[in-house]
Amino acid sequence: MVTDQVAPGGLEQVRTLLNTWLIPNDTRTPTDRFHGSPTLRDLRDDLRRAVERDADADLLVTAWIDRLGVLPVVREGRIALQARKQGEAWETLRDVLQSMMDGSWHRLKACPDCRWIFYDNSRNGQKRWCLMNAGGPNGRACGTIAKVRAYRERNRSDE
pLDDT in tens, 92-149: 999 999 999 999 999 999 988 888 899 999 888 888 878 655 554 456 677 666 677 7
Under 8 Å between Cβ of 89 and 45: no
- Burial (CB count <10 Å: 0-12, 13-18, 19+), residue 148: exposed
Domain extents in the chain = 3-158
Grade residue 155 by pLDDT with cuts at 50, 70 and 90: confident
pLDDT in tens, 28-63: 888 899 999 999 999 999 999 999 988 899 999 999
- Structural domain 3-158, CATH architecture: Orthogonal Bundle (1.10)
Grade residue 90 by pLDDT with cuts at 50, 70 and 90: very high
